[in-house]
Amino acid sequence: MFKKILFTSFFLAVLSSLSGCAVNRATASVTPGSNLEAMKTFYVVKSPKDEKDVDQLIKDFLVKKGYSVTTGPELTPPYQADGVVTYIDKWFWDITMYMLELTINIRQPTNNFPVAVGNSFHTSLTRKSPPEMVDEVLTNIYKNAK
């Protein structure tokens, strides 16, 4: 009887410790009245803390979709593009470093007003590679633009 109670307690403890490890969230929204389809050129602002070249991953995704894209440091508006892309990447250590969360904003080039925002959050058990995170966020943004 004692072994059965001990085993059940151990099993429940392990099960409850794993329940918080599998979080998977992907969201996107577009400002009403915004026309993402009209944006053909983008400027991706490289985050000063970015050591993983996330700006290049965003650029690669947009170029693959047929857009003209340049990257560089944050500039004073207006930008010489139809849209400005900013991002925040959060990394976490769990045996290896992985991207925990990625938020991408598409902004107007004249005043940095947000046109669209997307977010992807994956904990260790549902983690995705950085290119997959970029793909997920931007795909959701453009899916909501239609």
What global pTM score does this model have?
A: 0.82
In a domain, 55, yes or no: yes
In terms of Cβ atoms closer than 10 Å to its own Cβ (0-12, 13-18, 19+), residue 27 is middle
Q: What is the pLDDT of residue 41?
A: 97
- Chain mean pLDDT for the chain: 87
- Answer yes or no: are the C-beta atoms of 28 and 117 closer than 8 Å: yes
Give me the domain span that covers residue 67: 22-144
Question: Quick one: pLDDT at residue 79?
Answer: 92
What is the CATH classification number for the domain harbouring 82?
Answer: 3.40.50
With respect to residue 29, please indicate whether it lies within any of the assigned structural domains. Answer: yes
Residue 6 belongs to some domain of the structure: no
What is the H or E stretch that residue 83 is in?
A: strand 83-94
Has residue 11 been placed in a domain?
no
State pLDDT tens for residues 79-123. Answer: 999 999 999 999 998 888 889 999 999 999 999 999 999 999 998
Q: What is the pLDDT of residues 98-108, one digit of tens each?
A: 899 999 999 99
- Whether the bond between 78 and the residue before it is cis, its omega within 30 degrees of 0, is yes
Asked whether residue 7 is assigned to any structural domain, the reply reads no
Residue 137 has pLDDT above 90, yes or no: yes
Handedness of CA 107, 48, 51, 98 (dihedral sign): negative
C-alpha 120/C-alpha 100 separation (Å) is 8
Query: How many structural domains does the chain have?
Result: 1
- Give the pLDDT mean for 52-70: 97
